[in-house]
């Protein structure tokens, strides 16, 4: 695959890794040519991050060999990876937030026992790197005060400062706006021009096609194919990722919207620091339609969802269900919101939707523990709770069908079904759904999508939030695009991806500002 | 002037003496907690240190051997805390509580078995203690008004460990903010992931922080048993480890503030001793217990966020597990 | 992600593992005994016969166990809500004030069965009140409850010394304590229950509050596992974010849980003051609040486990006293040491032997479905 004269920057031979019963990497072979951008794609849980963590010394492979520049190296820890010239930009930044940029860059490479001399040297070196790659940043800025895009730049600087020749980026655009992402890709292009090798891990095919030279596809722990980017297509990669032709379109008939059920008016939400996350948002959701909210993660969708669900207190605005304002008496909490006919499938089921240490049947009443049908006075009606759980397990084909099993022992798809069954079976007037298929296997995705469409056809109002544009486009009857806490566009359901993408980047808002 | 000599000077001198174990111990806690390991076991470390110092000094007749033994013991206890809370990822608070119990039990048990005095260690001669040092020029300076008595009776006339405690504060500040170790220590208490990905071992770094705490705990114990007094007495730490913990919180985990907090709490202690049975003009008799409870009350008020906000290191109390 | 450890059969998780931890704690204690030149076997012999070998010994054992059941339940209830109530000692102490006030008011005019329920209610209320401020600060201001409850232990100590020295002391008496309660505030002892069995409890202060302790254990079980409120407590303890999502009010739940926790600690004063001392004196809790931590850890926060652990600690306390009496090299602090070791091995090092057990039981235990 590479020319015989220059050895590849990285070669992986037969890398194998298990976590208990999970076979995360199955005898992976991979060769990455020097001076290229190499993409690795795959679904969530395909084993990409594990593989890169092995390369960066976070985990040890159970078997296999890593060669850097043709020579085998033992990467026993991150220090060894750094010595071998490998740098990594993690999905969740590994920065000390109350440190300055300079302190973060120096950490682990201080250049001596005392900081004083090292600091001066680091400052100079940072200047040089800045000039060479056009990565300007104030070295004395405190990291937590920097925008996300710049924090990521600090991560890149950290790697370059340590002399990285090979740079691994793990899902780098998940938190970036398209504009910031474009800027990142420009930087990656410059790095390649300087002879660096870049490994880009993502599940977004558009990015792969836009910036990489070669692309490898992982599926269920295996490396299934490597292609030259110029010679492949989104369709082929998608098929390789999931192992069969993807249903990009959900089977559904036209919507028959009825009266407005959920009405949000001038809703404003601030986070704990007082930063406005949702900024005067207004929209309606009618009975029998799915309204999809598209947007890059972190543009206020989560806060919007949580405010409607009563988890976050809005600082202004009204939310109405069937014409009745929620929390009109100044008290808005999830229990009252539920009582008014609203159900909520939260974005993060591990942290919010489920208590993983509980038995399945205990999670099947989470949020509805005050429902008299589960109670005998102040006591729980254990028999009723378990019977109810068993019925849902059967209807939603939750496996294994054991309502007394600890919830942590179910797979991601089955956990999501536990949440969905709990919320849908309440027969709510409004269903809020956040990231319904994140970390869920393909089979369960189809099941979940069908359920949502069926609920819509039963005349319910559904508000869907997803960062997967494809999911929004295939499920939603109407689309709202959120950027920086505002709804910046309402493209028709058949609008093309480019158009929505521009809105997600807040292009209009940006141009107006400049 | 009379009040100055008979009240203020003795109170200030005793403030300093009472603050010393708090300073050592609070700094010990500072190293641990800035590295992300909560340390409720400060009391136990101090107690073990005191016992080891008195025992070693009794056997060898050397105060320095006592100090060495105290440091060694206290470091070993820190390593036990580290094993439980770093290596085994156990609950740091439970581990600390356990250490305090083990210290209360084992010191008396061993003391009784070795010396047969119900847990006391033998009374030490002055040669086996850290005794008062008179600073130079005391006699020349003493006659000067105000400065003279302060120099002669407050600043001079303490044992070596008092001066070491005062030096430990700027030293700790220097370590924390001017050395590589300090940078990493502060980082690991905020985001261990950042340290790990920078190729530095989180576990080893936290162990080293705990060892630093152990050394300081040894100094604190030594001060109690063979500098301030001349023997180990059961439970002689008497809750000072907890006051030090309060001082650490009160100081918002900052070295220089630690000195201030410990001096304040020491002052309250000194005043409460001084006030025993005395009446103040206007106010009348202030209950001693009220002054004794004041450090705890102040710390609770601070924790409540009514006077500033004490924000602990972000990663504190959480064992580090690599994320997949 | 999911638990970092493999799955184990329940009886291993809740039976064998705690048992191993306990055995190790005792082995280490045995080594200490050996080290100070006594015989561990002889020590065990003294302890067991001292604690269980006579009616009087058994009576003392169960008397101590009564106190530890209360404090163990107190710690456990808070644990279920994710709170570490380290302030049991102070809550017991202040609870004692409530008990004593009722006793002093009624002991001359009421029979014990009127005084005792009121004293229990007062003990519960005072203990709960002492937990209120830390609970409220945790709920509303996010102040770390471990630190605040420690502080409140010391504040309680100062407060009680002040009250006993300056306010409640019997005029003319030198020692800081109240007058002796009279018969209207003294709990019946349980000797009559044991005499048909041929056991003479002698001077052992085992009294009716033992039954109150057992009843409290049952009520705590019902509360935690069978009521809606218990479900809410456990949800907050296991996942506060999910609890918020489920509409469970954090502040309210934390405060009520801590009131129950503090109240249970306060009840312990009933056993000690009306069952044994017959007066309120300084430092009467003598560490029982802290024993509750060890008991709750060993009993895995389950009432059945707590009752068993409390009896074990009762044996330690009673047997330890005997041991200290007969073996010159061993003092009462032996119990404190064992307590510390139990907290260390059953608490902080609770998972040390788990990986080995997982390997041992893997073929049967870990074959549960895992995500691929």
A17 and A99 together in one domain: yes
Q: What CATH number has the domain bearing residue B66?
A: 1.10.3470
- Tell which residue, A322, A313, A246, A260, has the closest CA to residue A291: A260
> B107-158: per-residue pLDDT in tens?
999 999 999 888 899 999 999 999 988 888 888 888 888 888 888 888 888 9
In chain C, what residues touch B93 (CB-CB under 8 Å)?
A: 84, 86, 146
Q: Which ranges of chain C have pLDDT less than 70?
A: 1-7, 362-372
- Flag whether B318 is in a domain: no
A203 and A292 together in one domain: no
* Domain membership of residue A477 as a residue range: 260-354+428-513
Q: Which residue has the tokens 């939260």?
A: A346
Instruction: Work out how many CB contacts closer than 8 A connect A with B.
Output: 82
User: Do the beta carbons of residue C184 and residue C107 sit within 8 Å?
Assistant: yes
The pair phi, psi for residue A285, each rounded to 5°, is -125, 130
Number of Cβ within 10 Å of residue A420's Cβ equals 26
- Phi-psi sector, C251: left (phi>0), alpha (psi -120 to 50), beta: alpha
pLDDT at B118: 84
Number of Cβ within 10 Å of residue B17's Cβ equals 19
- How far is Cα of residue A351 from the mean position of the Cα atoms in its chain? 14
- Name beta bridge partners: A359: A406
What's the predicted TM-score (pTM) here? 0.88
Chain A interface, Cβ < 8 Å to B: 19, 49-50, 53, 56-59, 77-82, 88, 90, 92, 94-99, 103-104, 106-110, 112-116, 118, 158
Helix ranges (DSSP H) in chain C = 10-11, 17-35, 40-52, 55-80, 88-106, 112-136, 145-162, 191-194, 209-221, 228-238, 240-245, 250-269, 288-298, 303-326, 333-342, 354-365
A232 and A270 together in one domain: no
A347 and A283 together in one domain: yes
A137 and A191 together in one domain: yes
- Tell which residue, A205, A139, A124, A196, has the closest CA to residue A167: A196
pLDDT at B282: 67
Q: Does B322 touch chain A (CB under 8 A)?
A: yes
A155 and A22 together in one domain: yes
Contact state of C247 with A379 under an 8 Å Cβ cutoff: no
Q: How far is CA A399 from CA A55, A354, A403, A443, B100, in A?
A: 34, 16, 10, 13, 48
- Flag whether A101 is in a domain: yes
A142 and A278 together in one domain: no
> Whole-angstrom Cα distance, residue A196 to residue B191?
28
pLDDT at C30: 93
Would you state the structure tokens that stand for residue C266, as one six-digit string? Answer: 């306060």
A202 and A321 together in one domain: no
B2 or C57: which carries more pLDDT confidence? C57
pLDDT at A513: 40
State how many domains chain B has. 1
Contact state of A358 with C234 under an 8 Å Cβ cutoff: yes
A100 and A218 together in one domain: yes
> Whole-angstrom Cα distance, residue C145 to residue B307?
18
Q: Is the pLDDT of residue A245 over 60?
A: no
Q: Burial letters for A234-249: b for 16+ Cβ neighbours within 10 Å, e otherwise?
A: eeebbebbbeeeeeee
In chain A, what residues touch C230 (CB-CB under 8 Å)?
A: 380
- The helix/strand count (H/E) of chain B reads as 14, 2
Q: What is the ipTM of this complex?
A: 0.91
C-facing residues of B in 38-67 (CB < 8 A) are: 38, 40
A129 and A266 together in one domain: no
Q: Is the pLDDT of residue A403 over 60?
A: yes
> Whole-angstrom Cα distance, residue A89 to residue C44?
59
Chain C nearest-CA residue for B80:
C344
In chain C, what residues touch A334 (CB-CB under 8 Å)?
A: 244-247
Contact state of C340 with B103 under an 8 Å Cβ cutoff: yes
- Flag whether B312 is in a domain: no
pLDDT at A272: 74
Q: What CATH number has the domain bearing residue A454?
A: 3.40.50.300
Chain A nearest-CA residue for C370:
A409
> Whole-angstrom Cα distance, residue A151 to residue A145?
9
Contact state of A49 with B324 under an 8 Å Cβ cutoff: yes
Cα of A312 to nearest chain C Cα, Å: 9
Would you state the structure tokens that stand for residue A392, as one six-digit string? Answer: 């849902």
Q: Which of B189, B198, B253, B321 to mutate to test the interface with A (most CBs of A within 10 A)?
A: B198
Instruction: Work out how many CB contacts closer than 8 A connect A with C.
Output: 102
> Whole-angstrom Cα distance, residue C308 to residue C326?
27
Cα of C346 to nearest chain A Cα, Å: 20
> Whole-angstrom Cα distance, residue A50 to residue A222?
12
In chain B, what residues touch C137 (CB-CB under 8 Å)?
A: 300, 303-304
Q: Which residue has the tokens 């600087």?
A: A157
* Domain membership of residue B254 as a residue range: 8-126+152-305
Q: Which of C242, C249, C300, C358 to mutate to test the interface with A (most CBs of A within 10 A)?
A: C242
Side-chain half-sphere of A85: how many Cα atoms within 13 Å? 14
As to burial, measured by CB atoms within 10 angstroms (0-12 exposed, 13-18 middle, 19+ buried), residue C167 is: exposed
User: Do the beta carbons of residue C184 and residue C108 sit within 8 Å?
Assistant: yes
- Flag whether A162 is in a domain: yes
Q: Which of B248, B303, B307, B311 to mutate to test the interface with C (most CBs of C within 10 A)?
A: B303
- Flag whether B290 is in a domain: yes
Q: Is the pLDDT of residue A510 over 50?
A: no
> A250-303: per-residue pLDDT in tens?
778 888 999 999 999 999 998 876 778 899 999 999 999 999 998 877 788 999
- Flag whether A382 is in a domain: no
- Tell which residue, B257, B248, B244, has the closest CA to residue B18: B244
In chain A, what residues touch B197 (CB-CB under 8 Å)?
A: 56, 58, 78, 88, 90, 94
- Where residue A243 falls among pLDDT bands split at 50, 70, 90? low
Q: From the list B105, B245, B324, which residue is nearest C333 (CB)?
A: B105
Contact state of C337 with B105 under an 8 Å Cβ cutoff: yes
Q: Widest CA span of chain A, in angstroms?
A: 79
Chains that touch B (3 or more CB pairs under 8 A): A, C
C-facing residues of B in 101-120 (CB < 8 A) are: 101-110, 112-113, 116, 118-119
pLDDT at A324: 87
Number of Cβ within 10 Å of residue A213's Cβ equals 16
Out of A102-106, A200-204, C241-245, pick the least confident: A200-204
A58 and A170 together in one domain: yes
Q: How far is CA C296 from CA A504, C84, C95, C258, C291, in A?
A: 53, 11, 20, 15, 9
Percent of chain B with pLDDT over 70: 96
In chain A, what residues touch C372 (CB-CB under 8 Å)?
A: 22-23, 220, 411
> B203-250: per-residue pLDDT in tens?
999 999 999 999 999 999 999 999 999 999 999 998 899 999 999 988
Contact state of C370 with A380 under an 8 Å Cβ cutoff: no
Handedness of CA C362, C368, C371, C372 (dihedral sign): positive
> Whole-angstrom Cα distance, residue C205 to residue C191?
9
Q: Is the pLDDT of residue A248 over 60?
A: no
- Where residue B187 falls among pLDDT bands split at 50, 70, 90? very high
- Flag whether B159 is in a domain: yes
State how many domains chain A has. 2
Contact state of B94 with C348 under an 8 Å Cβ cutoff: yes
Q: From the list B178, B183, B191, which residue is nearest A94 (CB)?
A: B191
In chain B, what residues touch A115 (CB-CB under 8 Å)?
A: 177-180, 182-183
If you count them, how many residues does chain C have?
A: 372
Would you state the structure tokens that stand for residue A26, as one six-digit string? Answer: 């199955």
Would you state the structure tokens that stand for residue B102, as one six-digit string? Answer: 């083990």
> A408-428: per-residue pLDDT in tens?
888 888 899 999 999 999 999
C-facing residues of B in 223-252 (CB < 8 A) are: 234, 239, 242, 245-246, 249
- Flag whether A324 is in a domain: yes
Contact state of C154 with B109 under an 8 Å Cβ cutoff: no
Q: Which of A44, A107, A439 to mutate to test the interface with B (most CBs of B within 10 A)?
A: A107
A213 and A312 together in one domain: no
Q: Does B171 touch chain A (CB under 8 A)?
A: no
A479 or C2: which carries more pLDDT confidence? A479
- Tell which residue, A451, A469, A468, has the closest CA to residue A460: A451
């Amino acid at each position: 695959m590479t020319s015989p004269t220059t050895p590849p920057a990285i070669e992986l031979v037969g890398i194998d890794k298990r976590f208990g019963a999970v076979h995360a990497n199955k005898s992976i072979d991979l060769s990455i040519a020097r001076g290229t951008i190499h993409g690795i794609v795959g679904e969530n849980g395909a084993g990409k991050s594990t593989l890169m963590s092995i390369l960066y010394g976070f985990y040890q492979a159970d078997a296999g060999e890593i060669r850097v520049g043709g020579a085998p190296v033992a990467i026993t820890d991150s220090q060894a990876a750094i010595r071998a010239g490998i740098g990594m930009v993690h999905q969740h930044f590994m920065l000390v937030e109350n440190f300055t940029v300079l302190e973060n860059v120096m950490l682990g490479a201080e250049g001596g026992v005392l900081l004083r001399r090292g600091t001066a040297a680091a400052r100079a070196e940072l200047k040089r790197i800045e000039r060479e790659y056009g990565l300007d940043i104030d070295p004395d800025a405190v990291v937590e005060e920097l925008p996300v895009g710049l924090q990521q730049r600090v991560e890149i600087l950290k790697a370059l400062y340590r002399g990285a020749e090979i740079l691994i980026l793990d899902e780098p655009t998940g938190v970036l706006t398209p504009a910031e992402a474009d800027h990142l890709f420009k930087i990656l292009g410059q790095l390649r021009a300087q002879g660096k090798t870049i490994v880009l891990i993502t599940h977004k095919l558009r990015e792969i096609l836009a910036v990489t030279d070669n692309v490898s596809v992982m599926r269920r722990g295996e490396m299934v194919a490597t292609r030259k980017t110029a010679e492949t297509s989104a369709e082929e990669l998608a098929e390789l990722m999931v192992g069969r032709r993807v249903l990009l379109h959900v089977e559904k008939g036209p919507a028959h919207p009825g009266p407005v059920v959920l009405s949000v008016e001038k809703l404003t939400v601030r986070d704990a620091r007082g930063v406005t996350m949702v900024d005067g948002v207004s929209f309606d959701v009618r009975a029998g339609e799915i309204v999809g909210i598209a947007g890059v993660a972190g543009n206020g969708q989560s806060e919007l969802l949580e405010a409607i669900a009563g988890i976050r207190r809005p600082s202004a605005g009204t939310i109405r269900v069937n014409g009745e304002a929620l929390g009109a008496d100044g008290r808005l909490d999830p229990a009252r919101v539920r009582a008014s006919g609203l159900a909520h499938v939260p974005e993060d089921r591990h942290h919010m939707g489920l208590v993983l240490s509980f038995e399945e049947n205990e999670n099947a009443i989470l949020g509805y523990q005050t429902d008299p049908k589960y109670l005998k006075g102040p006591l729980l009606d254990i028999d009723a709770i378990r019977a109810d759980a068993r019925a849902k397990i059967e209807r939603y084909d939750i496996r294994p069908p054991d309502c007394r099993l600890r919830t942590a022992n179910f797979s991601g798809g089955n956990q999501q079904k536990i949440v969905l069954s709990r919320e849908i079976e309440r027969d709510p007037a409004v269903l809020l759904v956040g990231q319904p298929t994140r970390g869920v296997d393909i089979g369960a995705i189809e099941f979940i999508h069908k359920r949502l469409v069926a609920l819509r056809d039963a005349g319910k109002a559904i508000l869907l939030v997803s960062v997967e544009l494809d999911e929004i486009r295939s499920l939603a009857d109407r689309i709202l695009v959120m950027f920086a806490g505002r709804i910046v566009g309402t493209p028709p359901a058949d609008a093309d991806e480019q158009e929505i993408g521009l809105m997600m980047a807040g292009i209009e808002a940006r141009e107006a500002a400049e | 002037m009379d009040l100055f000599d008979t009240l203020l000077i003795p109170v200030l001198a005793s403030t300093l003496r009472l603050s010393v174990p708090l300073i050592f111990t609070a700094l010990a806690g500072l190293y641990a907690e800035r590295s992300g390991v909560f340390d409720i076991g400060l009391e136990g470390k101090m107690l073990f240190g005191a016992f080891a110092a008195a025992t070693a000094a009794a056997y060898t007749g050397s105060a320095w051997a006592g100090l060495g033994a105290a440091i060694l013991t206290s470091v070993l206890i820190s390593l036990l805390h580290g094993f439980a809370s770093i290596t085994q990822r156990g609950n740091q608070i439970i581990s600390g509580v356990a250490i305090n119990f083990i210290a209360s039990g084992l010191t008396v048990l061993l003391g009784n078995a070795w010396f047969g005095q119900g847990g006391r260690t033998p009374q030490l001669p002055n040669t086996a203690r850290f005794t008062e040092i008179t600073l130079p020029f005391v006699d020349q300076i003493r006659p000067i008004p105000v400065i003279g008595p302060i120099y002669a009776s407050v600043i001079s006339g303490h044992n070596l460990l008092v001066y070491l405690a005062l030096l430990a504060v700027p030293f700790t500040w220097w370590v924390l903010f001017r050395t590589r170790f300090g940078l990493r220590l502060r980082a690991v208490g905020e985001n261990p992931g950042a340290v790990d990905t920078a190729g530095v071992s989180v576990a080893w770094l936290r162990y080293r922080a705990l060892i630093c705490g152990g050394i300081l705990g040894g100094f604190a114990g030594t001060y109690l048993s063979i500098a301030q007094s001349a023997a180990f007495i059961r439970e002689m730490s008497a809750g000072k480890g907890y006051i030090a913990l309060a001082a650490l919180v009160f100081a918002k985990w900052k070295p220089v503030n630690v000195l201030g907090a410990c001096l304040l709490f020491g002052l309250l202690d000194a005043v409460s001793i001084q006030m025993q049975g005395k009446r103040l003009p206007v106010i009348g008799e202030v209950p001693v217990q009220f002054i004794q409870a004041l450090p705890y009350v102040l710390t609770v008020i601070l924790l409540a966020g009514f006077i500033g906000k004490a924000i602990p290191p972000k990663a504190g109390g959480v064992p580090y597990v690599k994320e997949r | 992600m999911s638990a970092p450890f493999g799955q184990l059969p329940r009886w291993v998780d809740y039976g064998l593992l705690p048992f191993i931890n306990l055995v190790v704690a005792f082995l280490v204690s045995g080594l200490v005994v050996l080290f100070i030149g006594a015989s561990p076997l002889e020590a065990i012999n003294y302890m067991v016969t001292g604690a269980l070998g006579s009616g009087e010994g058994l009576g003392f054992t169960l008397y101590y166990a009564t106190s530890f059941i209360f404090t163990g339940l107190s710690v456990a209830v808070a644990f279920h809500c994710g709170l570490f109530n380290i302030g049991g000692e102070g809550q017991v102490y202040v609870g004692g004030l409530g008990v004593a006030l009722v006793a002093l008011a009624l002991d001359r005019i009421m029979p014990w069965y009127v005084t005792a329920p009121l004293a229990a209610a007062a003990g519960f209320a005072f203990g709960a009140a002492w937990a209120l401020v830390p609970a409220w600060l945790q709920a509303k201001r996010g102040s770390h409850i471990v630190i605040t409850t420690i502080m409140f232990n010391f504040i309680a100590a100062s407060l009680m010394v002040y009250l006993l020295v300056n306010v409640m002391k019997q005029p003319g008496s030198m020692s800081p304590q109240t007058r002796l309660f009279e018969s209207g505030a003294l709990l019946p002892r349980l000797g009559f229950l044991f005499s048909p069995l041929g056991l003479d409890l002698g001077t052992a202060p085992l009294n009716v509050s033992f039954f109150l302790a057992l009843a409290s254990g049952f009520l705590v079980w019902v509360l935690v596992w069978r009521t809606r409120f218990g479900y809410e407590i456990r949800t907050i303890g296991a996942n506060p974010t999910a609890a918020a999502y489920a509409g469970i009010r954090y502040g309210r739940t934390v405060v009520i849980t801590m009131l129950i926790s503090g109240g249970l600690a306060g009840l312990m004063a009933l056993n000690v003051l009306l069952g044994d001392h017959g007066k309120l004196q300084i430092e009467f809790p003598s560490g029982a609040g802290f024993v509750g931590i060890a008991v709750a850890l060993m009993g895995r926060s389950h009432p059945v486990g707590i009752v068993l652990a409390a009896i074990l600690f009762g044996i330690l306390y009673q047997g330890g006293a005997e041991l200290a009496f007969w073996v010159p090299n061993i003092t009462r602090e032996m119990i404190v040491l064992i307590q510390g070791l139990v907290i260390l091995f059953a608490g902080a090092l609770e998972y040390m032997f788990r990986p080995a057990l997982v390997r041992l039981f893997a073929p049967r235990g870990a074959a549960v479905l895992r995500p691929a």
